[in-house]
Amino acid sequence: MKSYRRELTFNLPARRGFVNITPQVKAALKESGIQEGLLLCNAMHITASVFINDDEGGLHQDFERWLEKLAPEKPYSAYAHNGYEDNGDAHLKRTVMGREVVVAVSGGRLDFGPWEQIFYGEFDGKRSKRVLVKIIGE
């Protein structure tokens, strides 16, 4: 069994945003040479997320509105976590959107269903954060 590891780095200029990282993940898979196995992709920061969904702008706007209703950024005083940093909402948003995805690798390709893409979700941006891509298989 082979193993491959790559880190991707993101630095979004806004506090929140979604980035389709499928091309970078596919490039890592190609570089790994693995044809059959599993790919793990996870955010390495507690205020960021990796998830699978459709690459449709309206859906991304819906995520933003929905998450802001669930855990509004302000008032900062609404969160016991806030104090050193005002990012209590970002921790909750990450919990809802998830930490990682696992995708089957078949024939050297991501074994996706229709419309599935991998996204990086940022909830407390304006600084560099890492995403791990770990692939195991043959």
Count of domains forming the chain? 1
Q: What does pTM read for this prediction?
A: 0.96
As a whole number of angstroms, the distance between CA 21 and CA 24 comes to 5
Q: Confidence band (pLDDT; 50, 70, 90) for 21?
A: very high
Residue 85: what pLDDT?
85
Kindly tell me the sign of the dihedral angle through the C-alpha atoms of 136, 120, 63, 80.
Answer: positive
Token representation of residue 113? 């269903």
Range of the domain at 82: 2-137
- Output DSSP code: residue 107: T
Residue 123 sits in a domain whose CATH number is 2.60.120.460
Rounded mean pLDDT of 97-125? 98
As a whole number of angstroms, the distance between CA 3 and CA 114 comes to 27
